[in-house]
């Protein structure tokens, strides 16, 4: 039996190769996974033209996944460095990479990335439109916008962020309910500007069925972008954000009617006490579709440390229902991240995702922690380092400060509680001088 998308297959009772792989990774019954994909509660982004893909699932009952952003800008145009970042992100076990390049002719880079990457690849075609078409924003036509989307789909992009929810009505909410930070979404601000300059409706809202045609043809998952996500804790959960979320819920149902897979993007900057309620709102208004959050960053005053502010918010968000975390690096709000920034962002996001998986009761999540605890109880430092989320850093710290006794560390030395409890419980003598 033929099918167009993973959702189409699931609704026809077909278990695809991608579903089998994801079910095995997630320790989930494949028929249960098929039901979740059919209901839209799990997506398997898998463009038909992404031949190197090792598929992952995102959504209800699955491990929390993380995404890493790369891409060139006019000020930092080094394609080889961005490919190096992509390879490093894959080594560090990110499940997705988004190419956010916003300058130059990026198709060659995008194709090289898709050809080498076994992870999900996402893009924001709006970023590419100005550079690819070599035109001023206000002069880009509706047909030209869709030509960029189609090119990304042809190249093999698995999921695309499309800001279809910022229509004229949502834009009025932004204008009539002024924010401290206005619209901080790059793609959303470009579409807002295009609508204002041309006095026209958002083409990705007005011609949404045309977008669905492309996504259905290539099995591209739509990541419905949150143009009105808060860029400061002051702006969180305001009228514009909620108005757009309601629209995204309506667009989700229209996509599902065409068997097109959907994720919903979310905040943003947000105080800790608002996060759980926002996760509930998204799941309710968007009918249980997987939720992809950008942070949330829980305080605005920590530039240089926003991988930490984001990991705090990401852990709470994922434990409260979010399914996919976009990493944030220490360079957020300051500059394009370098390789070390990227690593710190990935590790912070992976910690947040794993902490949430423990809270959500994801099968096998606690096994890793229990193995680490057992190694600590045995004072087995090689095993601890092997199990660490960042073995390189753990090993380096151990090497930099050697203790007198090999089975201790330089914090406690002979007073190590793990070592001493082990000895006492084994009936051995104890000397700590």
Tens-place pLDDT, residues 221-244: 999 999 999 999 999 999 999 999
Does pLDDT of 74 surpass 90? Answer: no
What is the widest separation between alpha-carbon atoms in the chain?
Answer: 84
Tens-place pLDDT, residues 123-168: 999 988 887 888 899 999 999 999 999 999 999 999 999 999 999 9
CATH number for the region 6-360 comes to 3.20.20.540
Q: Is 364 annotated as a binding residue?
A: no
pLDDT at res. 138: 95
Q: Which helix (H) or strand (E) holds 393?
A: helix 391-400
Does residue 359 contact residue 396 with C-beta atoms inside 8 Å?
Answer: no
**How much helix, strand and coil, in percent to the nearest 5, is found in the chain?**
50, 10, 40
Q: Is 127 annotated as a binding residue?
A: yes
DSSP annotation of 156 = T
Does pLDDT of 201 surpass 80? Answer: yes
Q: Is 228 annotated as a binding residue?
A: yes
* Cis geometry, peptide bond prior to residue 268 (ω within 30 degrees of 0): yes
pLDDT at res. 334: 95
Q: Is 327 annotated as a binding residue?
A: no
Does residue 376 contact residue 422 with C-beta atoms inside 8 Å?
Answer: no
Q: Parallel, antiparallel, or unpaired: how do β-strands 58-59 and 42-43 relate?
A: antiparallel
Q: Distance between CA 385 and CA 375 in Å, rounded?
A: 9
Does residue 222 contact residue 215 with C-beta atoms inside 8 Å?
Answer: yes
Q: Is 229 annotated as a binding residue?
A: yes
Q: What's the whole-number average pLDDT of the chain?
A: 95
Q: Distance between CA 44 and CA 18 in Å, rounded?
A: 7
Over residues 409-421, the mean pLDDT reads: 85
Q: Is 69 annotated as a binding residue?
A: yes
| Number of CB atoms found within 10 A of residue 405's CB | 11
What pTM value is reported for the model? 0.94
Tokens of 399: 């090497």
Does residue 307 contact residue 328 with C-beta atoms inside 8 Å?
Answer: yes
Question: 424: Cβ–Cβ under 8 A, 6 or more apart, which residues?
Answer: 430
Q: Distance between CA 90 and CA 88 in Å, rounded?
A: 5
Q: Is 163 annotated as a binding residue?
A: yes
Share of the chain above pLDDT 90, in %: 85
Q: Is 292 annotated as a binding residue?
A: yes
Over residues 279-304, the mean pLDDT reads: 97
Q: Which of 33-42, 109-118, 406-415 has the lowest mean pLDDT?
A: 406-415
Q: Distance between CA 327 and CA 76 in Å, rounded?
A: 20
- β-strand partners of 266: 293
Q: Is 318 annotated as a binding residue?
A: no
> DSSP assignment of 15-74, as one string?
--HHHHHHHHHHT--HHHHHHHHHTTSEE----TT-TT-----EETTSPPEEEEEE---S
* Cis geometry, peptide bond prior to residue 190 (ω within 30 degrees of 0): no
Q: Distance between CA 123 and CA 121 in Å, rounded?
A: 7
pLDDT at res. 433: 66
Q: Distance between CA 225 and CA 35 in Å, rounded?
A: 25
Does residue 11 contact residue 2 with C-beta atoms inside 8 Å?
Answer: no
pLDDT at res. 318: 98
Over residues 56-68, the mean pLDDT reads: 98
Over residues 168-197, the mean pLDDT reads: 95
Coil/strand/helix, residue 359: helix
Tens-place pLDDT, residues 5-26: 999 999 999 999 999 999 999 9
Tens-place pLDDT, residues 393-407: 999 999 998 888 888
Q: Is 186 annotated as a binding residue?
A: yes
Domain residue spans of the chain: 6-360, 365-425
Q: Distance between CA 428 and CA 421 in Å, rounded?
A: 10
């Amino acid at each position: 039996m033929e099918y167009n998308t993973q959702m189409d297959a699931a609704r026809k009772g077909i278990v695809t190769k991608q579903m089998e792989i994801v079910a095995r990774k997630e320790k989930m019954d494949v028929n249960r996974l098929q039901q979740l994909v059919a209901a839209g509660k799990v997506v398997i982004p898998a463009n038909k033209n992404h031949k190197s893909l090792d598929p992952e699932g995102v959504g209800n009952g699955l491990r929390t996944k993380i995404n890493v952003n790369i891409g060139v800008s006019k000020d930092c145009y080094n394609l080889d460095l961005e490919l190096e970042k992509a390879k490093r992100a894959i080594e560090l076990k990110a499940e997705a990479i988004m190419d956010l390049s916003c300058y130059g002719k990026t198709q060659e880079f995008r194709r090289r990335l898709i050809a080498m990457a076994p992870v999900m690849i996402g893009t924001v075609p709006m970023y590419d439109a100005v550079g690819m078409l070599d035109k001023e924003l206000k002069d880009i036509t509706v047909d030209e916008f869709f030509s960029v989307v189609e090119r990304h789909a042809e190249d093999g992009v698995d999921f695309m962020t499309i800001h279809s929810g910022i229509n004229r009505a949502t834009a009025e909410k932004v204008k009539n309910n002024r924010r401290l930070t206005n619209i901080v979404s790059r793609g959303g601000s470009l579409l807002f500007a295009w609508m204002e300059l041309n006095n026209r409706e958002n083409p990705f809202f007005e011609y949404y069925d045309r977008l669905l045609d492309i996504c259905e043809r290539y099995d591209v998952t739509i990541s419905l972008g949150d143009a009105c996500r808060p860029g400061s804790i002051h702006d969180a959960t305001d009228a514009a954000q909620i108005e757009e979320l309601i629209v995204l819920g309506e667009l989700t149902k229209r996509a599902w009617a065409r068997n097109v897979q959907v994720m919903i993007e979310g905040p943003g900057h947000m105080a800790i006490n608002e996060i759980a309620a926002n996760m509930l709102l998204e799941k309710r208004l968007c009918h249980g579709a997987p939720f992809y959050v950008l942070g949330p960053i829980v305080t605005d005053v920590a530039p240089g440390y926003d991988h930490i502010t984001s990991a705090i918010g990401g852990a709470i968000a994922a434990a409260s229902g979010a399914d996919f975390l976009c990493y944030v690096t220490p360079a957020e709000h300051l500059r394009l991240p370098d390789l070390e920034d990227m690593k710190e962002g990935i590790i912070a996001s992976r910690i947040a995702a794993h902490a949430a998986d423990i809270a959500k009761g994801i099968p096998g999540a606690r096994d890793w922690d229990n193995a680490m605890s057992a190694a600590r109880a045995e004072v087995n430092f090689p095993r601890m380092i092997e199990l660490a989320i960042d073995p390189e850093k753990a090993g380096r710290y151990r090497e930099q400060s050697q203790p007198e006794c090999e089975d201790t560390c330089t914090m406690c030395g002979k007073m190590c509680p793990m070592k001493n409890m082990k000895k006492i419980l084994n009936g051995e003598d104890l000397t700590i001088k």
